[in-house]
Structure 1
Amino acid sequence: MLISPAMNAALREARFAGDAALDASGVRAARLAAPHVPDADRLVHGPSERCARTAEALGLRSVAENAVRDWELGRWSGARLDEVGAREPEGVAAWLGDPSAAPHGGESLLGLCARAGTWLDSLTGEGRVLAVTEPSLLRAALVHALALPPQAFWRLDVTPLTLTELSGRSGRWNLRVGRPLADRQGGGEAERGAS
């Protein structure tokens, strides 16, 4: 089970990664969603401040796991997309068009998908695992789990504080995607559990 972290300023500003903390509305939304988090045998979160604070606000006693860290975007980390696009239009075009490109000096999309897949496939026999992780890792895990072409990564939208569930095992994953942890008004009953 993968939960996307709550909103923060970096997400609102369309920044590449960066380790920005949650803002007050993100903390409040995560606290409201806490009663709707399904039970799990193992709880982990990405090492970013955003993931750690989301897990904390959800009331989870999770541990940081480096394997579910955000996409490593090198020198673009923390910059806004429009700024990078103005400075390095060819680099952004290569990054968006070629899954093996890493013009930022960090991890390529293929590298991110391979890392997410390695982590996902390592979970065999661990019971129900819940990870609070950045949208990029969540999208890469879905590309791997469903054997999608890497370009499908750009077509997957992940909104804050949604639950994406994968069941099965390495080589045969089933998907239940993007269930809100609470209704949009903040606090309505959401369906519990996984299928």
Structure 2
Amino acid sequence: MLGVDPGLTRCGLGVVDGGLGRTVTCVAVDVVRTPAEDDVAARLLRISGAVEEWLDTYRPDAVAVERVFSQHNVRTVMGTAQAGGVVALGAARRGLPVVFHTPSEVKASVTGSGRADKAQVTGMVTRLLNLAEKPSPADAADALALAICHLWREPMRARLAEAEARAAELARTHRKRLAEAARRKGGSGTAGTRGVRR
């Protein structure tokens, strides 16, 4: 599982493997940096190249990206969204599913609280992955947290989607049977009045 904390200046990348139960292992983690003075297109190209290399090297089953929320700094939001789009495009080219998780989802999954701060997330990621030292900067820890979040939430999400699909199929079957019963009832009523003389 590849987790990505998108950003133009720093883009966190973290690959995590899931084991039995909620066991998780860190495979790789890094942060792609781009100079602020460079052209936006050049910065996105650099991020794209790094992501493509990670996708080819580690071959994840899916990619988890942090969902962008509006902030006071519109320029920062735009850059983050653009970086996230580059990541999603690279994954889509390889037929990989891309899932966007909100920051509160990630925090709740990793720490148990959707309002946890950066230090708490980093601390829990370090413990869960049994790392010798804390991932730094925070973008690296966030990328690992995204991967962990997806590994833990996806089975539940898949079961929910399966249950919803079953419920929808049952509802369609029920509506079809009701429609057929109504047609039969209407048809028999019509047939019964044909032979009546007035």
TM-score normalised according to structure 2 size: 0.32
TM-score normalised according to structure 1 size: 0.32
